[in-house]
Amino acid sequence: MDALAGSPLGWLCVGVTVLFGVAVLHLAKWSPSEQARMLVWSLLPAWLGLLCVAVLGAGGGLAMLCAAALAVALASAACRGSGAMLPVGDKAVLVTGSDTGIGHALAKYLDNLGFVVFAGVLNKDGPGAEELRRTCSQRLSLLQLDITNPTQVKEAYLKVSDKVQNTGLWGVVNNAGVLGFPADGELLPMSMYRQCMEVNFFGAVEVSKTFLPLLRKSQGRLVNMSSMAGGIPLRRYAAYGASKAALSMFSGVMRQELSDWGIKVAAIHPSGFRTGILGTPELWDKQEKELMENLPADTRRDYGEDYLLGLKSYLLHVAAYCDADLSPVLSAILHALLAKRPHGLYNPGKGAYVALCAFCYLPLWFYDFFVSKKPSTESVPRALRTSGAESKNL
């Protein structure tokens, strides 16, 4: 023990212990999302140091530990520096999809904080728009805005431009989106793939391109509402996830390109939250009918009627697991809008960052087996249940 205490390996152990202790104490002051992110990174020096001990010896391991610890310390300082916020002042923000869900809550939230809010709604005479008129200040303006309609996008641009004049528009939050009908990718009709891409991707791109001249004037912020399904593969979200992945990639490229103009771009990847995007029973019936009518006979036979009819019940189970508290998402969007050094990617919600780390850093077979495995034998298509039973008999 005495020999170990005076050896480089002993100092390595001390260093790892001190580093981990400081990280734990420092993390206690952070938000849950910051804690998760930095806890992952704080463990890297320890693993790297122990690995280098085996490969390079105790001295090499200690050197690598110090270098890695320094890198983590710098990263930690950078993350904390991003907490400095700009004043709201008279900043103007456009929010699409403000009829329901996150967009509706965000329009109210930003209005309450003193922003000049332009709330784009699909139906200017609908209940969501009426509630915004009733509950928000005179600073909030409602815009009839179907983001898949280029004419409405252009009209919205002219109205916003006329109001903000030379100050420009500080922020655009591309929130409008559709979920579609969660089902196996093979079962989804092509119309559902096209709808998801049209709204979740092409609509957001149309709005971004149209309003970028106003963002350039203010050197403001572009915030795109993606999804956890846009960063990791999730069963039954082939159409939705593909459209959100396209939006995330668009956000990353625009973040690089628009930095030259002083515009900062962020993508939000929330986990499951209870919003209007899940739709209504009437919409589920319509989407289920469309799905069933487009299935080839052999596909219908292989999956089985019980499996196909059980798809709709999945939506009821999803809603039960979703979080009704939208405050983590609203806080992330606010940070993206006002932080002096915003993040390029936000993962608000339970399990969002952990799932992303599992997908990025663990072997794919591990992720596929544990994260996306089917929950029960009842959800297995008929042909697979039959072949499984035959295998057992053999």
The answer to whether residue 357 sits within a structural domain is: yes
Q: Which 3 state secondary structure label does DSSP give 276?
A: helix
Looking at mean pLDDT, say which of 248-252, 316-320, 349-353 comes out highest: 248-252
How many C-beta atoms lie closer than 10 Å to residue 21's C-beta?
10
pLDDT digits (tens, 9 = 90+) for 96-148: 999 999 999 999 999 999 999 999 999 999 999 999 999 999 999 999 999 99
Question: Are residues 132 and 212 both part of a single domain?
Answer: yes
Question: Are residues 277 and 205 both part of a single domain?
Answer: yes
Q: Which domain holds residue 26?
A: 2-81
Q: Which two tokens stand for residue 283?
A: 């919409």
pLDDT at 291 (0 to 100): 85
pLDDT at 305 (0 to 100): 85
pLDDT at 383 (0 to 100): 82
How many helices (DSSP H) and strands (DSSP E) are in the chain? 18, 7
pLDDT at 152 (0 to 100): 98
DSSP letters spanning 328-357: HHHHHHHHHHHBSS--SEE--STTHHHHHH
Q: What is the pLDDT confidence band of residue 208, given thresholds at 50, 70 and 90? A: very high
Nearest to 100 by CA among 273, 243, 222: 273
Question: Are residues 217 and 343 both part of a single domain?
Answer: yes
**Based on the structure, what is the number of domains in the chain?**
2
Q: What is the pLDDT confidence band of residue 379, given thresholds at 50, 70 and 90? A: confident
Residue with tokens 């990263």, as numbered in its chain: 75
Q: CB of 130 within 8 A of CB of 109?
A: no
Average pLDDT over residues 255-282: 85
pLDDT at 213 (0 to 100): 97
Long-range contacts at 321-325 (CB < 8 A, ≥ 24 apart): 321/272, 322/272, 322/273, 322/274, 322/275, 322/278, 323/271, 323/272, 323/273, 323/274, 323/349, 323/350, 324/273, 324/274, 325/273
pLDDT digits (tens, 9 = 90+) for 164-200: 988 899 999 999 999 888 889 999 999 999 999 999 9
pLDDT at 66 (0 to 100): 60
Q: What is the pLDDT confidence band of residue 35, given thresholds at 50, 70 and 90? A: low
In the predicted structure, residue 49 carries a pLDDT above the cut 90: no
The answer to whether residue 113 sits within a structural domain is: yes
The answer to whether residue 204 sits within a structural domain is: yes
pLDDT at 1 (0 to 100): 47
Question: Are residues 105 and 192 both part of a single domain?
Answer: yes
Question: Are residues 99 and 22 both part of a single domain?
Answer: no
Cα angle 118-327-86, degrees, rounded to a multiple of 5:
60
Which sign does the torsion angle of CA 290, 273, 269, 45 carry? negative
The burial of 285, by beta-carbon neighbours within 10 Å (0-12 exposed, 13-18 middle, 19 or more buried), is given as exposed
Written as one letter, the residue type at 81 is G
CA distances from 372 to 65, 237, 300, 358 (A): 35, 11, 23, 12
Q: Which two tokens stand for residue 24?
A: 């734990």
Average pLDDT over residues 257-270: 96
Nearest to 153 by CA among 206, 215, 100: 206
Question: Are residues 108 and 173 both part of a single domain?
Answer: yes
Average pLDDT over residues 236-244: 94
Question: Are residues 72 and 96 both part of a single domain?
Answer: no
Nearest to 124 by CA among 159, 92, 171, 93: 159
Question: Are residues 200 and 229 both part of a single domain?
Answer: yes
Average pLDDT over residues 347-357: 79
Average pLDDT over residues 9-28: 53
Instruction: Kindly report the three-state secondary structure assignment for every residue of 71-131.
Output: HHHHHHHHHHHCCCECCCCCCEEEECCCCCHHHHHHHHHHHHHCCEEEEEECCCCCHHHHH
Average pLDDT score, the chain? 82
Q: Cα separation of 175 and 117, whole Å?
A: 14
In the predicted structure, residue 71 carries a pLDDT above the cut 80: no
Average pLDDT over residues 247-261: 97
pLDDT at 32 (0 to 100): 47
The answer to whether residue 393 sits within a structural domain is: no
pLDDT at 80 (0 to 100): 46
Phi and psi at residue 283, to the nearest 5°: -65, -40
Question: Are residues 134 and 45 both part of a single domain?
Answer: no
pLDDT at 159 (0 to 100): 97
Average pLDDT over residues 88-93: 96
pLDDT at 55 (0 to 100): 64
Q: CB of 245 within 8 A of CB of 230?
A: yes
Q: Cα separation of 197 and 133, whole Å?
A: 31
> Annotated active-site positions, please?
240
